Structure 1
């Protein structure tokens, strides 16, 4: 939930030497030597585990009760200054993964190796357990961590004067304490926190749709911070840093010198090269209310990040890059919301059609149904009726490997028939997909430059 604000806030803390703010930050010693074998790190790249904590004590007690402290959101922020790009990878809190054993610390008991939710290690063993788990699950070397709680997030938003958003429909969510009218408006800290936490009052009520809204919000806020007057006026910087550091926790190796390096690096990254992505996932076979990583797409994404390679296939080209983006602009524009699709599973993996349907729904497609085909084609095929070729092609562009074929008996709904060669989806941020080259297929995401928040 707090990814961009925390990373930018941490970066800007380089200025704190001039305003005596650095001392506000709470720091923890993390014994990474106790992790054993760790993923290799790439010189010149930086990976930060960013935690939006849902701790409900102190100033956060008004947001209900919750046992312990755990990530309400969990993100790996990858900064690659040598390549002029940055990526923020959401790890959905509903992900079920294999977690490593971790020793307790203080009043936390630790935990044995087990299969559980990605955000649970923090409750059992604190930040150190969470750090170790993220490294083992992703294979990405984590250099530092940043954690901000609810009150800290509100302060960040208020310090930048609120964030302008387009609210497409009225929102009435008692659980998130959020009540908004439809239309373009500037959200204050309390409203922004409610918007970021709101799950059942918007969309389909899933954590995935909430993550997508969070990415849009954070992109809008990042645009506001980077393109506004916050970085140009000392008074604004002071206010911003004061709000961030009062509720920020980091590791004690995130020194002023490191923060200065991050600040310099972030200023060189174009907004079109800051990617918000979600780890590829689908419904967990063991629990319909939980998620599991979709393979091989998730491993491809994590491997690209761990090696400091592009996850979008454009090598940091940003909005102005040509190639596939230029070709896409020449095609007939068909929006996902205009496409009705039925997903049929001929690949053989149980519940695959439902997983694919769920992903398509989060991307805005209209999923008409799922099931199994009467006949299985030799390769993954999208069948379309008269006048729906552009719809089929737009859907095919989202897949790593899918061909299209006209079927005169079909109506307005296209059919995606998964065959044995099914390899998942390409990146919505511009990836050409597959495992070739230095891009990672199956990535759901957007760029900060695409976070346009004006109502049309």
Structure 2
């Protein structure tokens, strides 16, 4: 034990499996790293770099995974420390646990980048950590992955991530609440499509439905909001966060901002007080990253969540799905490109040949209900249907009996609308429910096998892990 009007649609998510808070932290840290050293050309970055906090990490104190030459792995931490300016977001709390924890992998082999989210509520076997400063350290035990930060600081969190994943971590970047908010304001806000009105007092967020530009305060609330959107699960929140991240990355890396020294300077200068890096993450190394990232197509930046499911001992916690998780980690550690399996043309498998749907998806309002034990599945499927052009009316769980097969229910006169939804699914039946109005209802049952064009759950993990690109994440109404 330790020592102690929904006419909006989003170009949304095909998020892999499930995940917890990806958050705006990825956007904060990644975009800062990507464009930061661009300022060296203007002789200004050294001034800004001097304002960034640095922390010494003794990586020689544990056995480390082998590094692949040229590949770069950065541990990104979205800090939930709530002192100083951050205390307003939930009160002052002693200690610090990452709100978000992920690995950004930049590959020289395929001119791409992969961001792997490690769910913060993952229950894992953690190694021991020695005391570090005012941190007490911890004995080897089974616990939540993000608790390592509280027991042994960044050094302990770094060790835990390396030893659990087998991925050599080169550097870390940590950002807090205030930094994210100010960064969004520095780029003039981020345009998002909000499908339904949002009222979430816990996240200090109230938004009308529709296309709108979120300022820093609104964006922070949007990233933290859980109970005011979707099915209320932390697992569905990642879909919205990834959409926001894609929109933010595209804006930051647009010609307007990147071509203006003053814009870049303002962008980074607004958040340097909220960023911490390891003391080996020098200007020269950041410059190397910036040079690498300039060659990366935005369509080749991918977001992946470690395959996971509800923990058998606690449905509110996460267990990594094996061997899928280890195979993913091995691919990252070896700098192997992760590609999405796409069926060959004409390969329909056992699916019956169907007539083309007669109703455009933009005219179909669909509610997605999750009748399985897979937490967050309704949000994931709903976001995937949004991406295909459907209007998502809501997500949740069935209130009555669950059908034996995944079923699309429809009200009077809406059969063709239901057929249009069913045509997107690998397994589904269509049935009438006279109590329904103009919104069709998809009830996901135990036989769920995904949407057409997506790999089956029984496929190899490197084929079955879907990767969402920044381009796919761009929001639209």
- TM-score range relative to shorter protein: 0.7 to 0.9
TM superposition score normalised by structure 2: 0.77
Extract unaligned runs of 5+ from structure 1.
315-321, 344-352, 375-380, 397-403
The answer to whether residue 140 in structure 2 is matched with residue 113 in structure 1 is yes
- Structure 1 residues 12 and 195: CA distance shift in structure 2, 3 A: same
**1:334–1:394 Cα contact (<8 Å) kept:** no
Higher relative contact order (CA 8 A, sep 6+): 2
SS of aligned partner of 1:212: helix
Compare 333-342 and 86-95 and name the one that shifted more: 333-342
- Choose which of 363, 366, 369 in structure 1 pairs with 2:381: 363
Q: In structure 1, what is the equivalent of residue 105 of structure 2?
A: 78
Extract unaligned runs of 5+ from structure 2.
1-22, 349-354, 386-394, 410-414, 435-440
Aligned mates of 1:256, 1:244 — CA distance in 2? 16
Q: In structure 2, what is the equivalent of residue 346 of structure 1?
A: none
**1:433–1:442 Cα contact (<8 Å) kept:** no
**2:242–2:303 Cα contact (<8 Å) kept:** yes
- Structure 1 residues 408 and 323: CA distance shift in structure 2, 3 A: closer
Q: In structure 2, what is the equivalent of residue 99 of structure 1?
A: 126
Q: CA deviation at 1:213?
A: 1.2
Q: In structure 2, what is the equivalent of residue 454 of structure 1?
A: 476
**1:80–1:308 Cα contact (<8 Å) kept:** yes
The answer to whether residue 237 in structure 2 is matched with residue 237 in structure 1 is no
RMSD: 3.6
**2:236–2:376 Cα contact (<8 Å) kept:** no
- Structure 1 residues 163 and 342: CA distance shift in structure 2, 3 A: closer
Q: CA deviation at 1:259?
A: 0.6
- Structure 1 residues 371 and 325: CA distance shift in structure 2, 3 A: farther
Compare 291-300 and 219-228 and name the one that shifted more: 291-300
- Structure 1 residues 180 and 41: CA distance shift in structure 2, 3 A: same
- Equivalenced residue count is 416
Q: CA deviation at 1:67?
A: 2.8
Aligned mates of 1:405, 1:184 — CA distance in 2? 33
**1:99–1:118 Cα contact (<8 Å) kept:** yes
Aligned mates of 1:178, 1:342 — CA distance in 2? 26
TM superposition score normalised by structure 1: 0.80
- Choose which of 274, 296, 319 in structure 1 pairs with 2:301: 274
Q: CA deviation at 1:5?
A: 2.3
SS of aligned partner of 1:269: coil
Q: CA deviation at 1:92?
A: 1.7
SS of aligned partner of 2:101: strand
- Structure 1 residues 173 and 323: CA distance shift in structure 2, 3 A: same
Q: In structure 1, what is the equivalent of residue 17 of structure 2?
A: none
SS of aligned partner of 2:115: strand
- Structure 1 residues 233 and 249: CA distance shift in structure 2, 3 A: same
Q: In structure 2, what is the equivalent of residue 45 of structure 1?
A: 71
> Counterparts in 2 of 1:181-260, with a 5 A limit?
181-260=208-287
1:55-81 Cα shifts (integer Å, max 9, x gaps)? 111111211232311111111111113
Aligned mates of 1:205, 1:293 — CA distance in 2? 21
Aligned mates of 1:310, 1:338 — CA distance in 2? 35
- Structure 1 residues 408 and 177: CA distance shift in structure 2, 3 A: closer
- Choose which of 164, 172, 177 in structure 1 pairs with 2:191: 164
Q: In structure 1, what is the equivalent of residue 317 of structure 2?
A: 290
The answer to whether residue 377 in structure 2 is matched with residue 354 in structure 1 is no
Q: CA deviation at 1:245?
A: 2.1
The answer to whether residue 76 in structure 2 is matched with residue 58 in structure 1 is no
Compare 407-416 and 44-53 and name the one that shifted more: 407-416
Q: CA deviation at 1:51?
A: 0.6
- Structure 1 residues 327 and 217: CA distance shift in structure 2, 3 A: farther
- Structure 1 residues 414 and 288: CA distance shift in structure 2, 3 A: closer
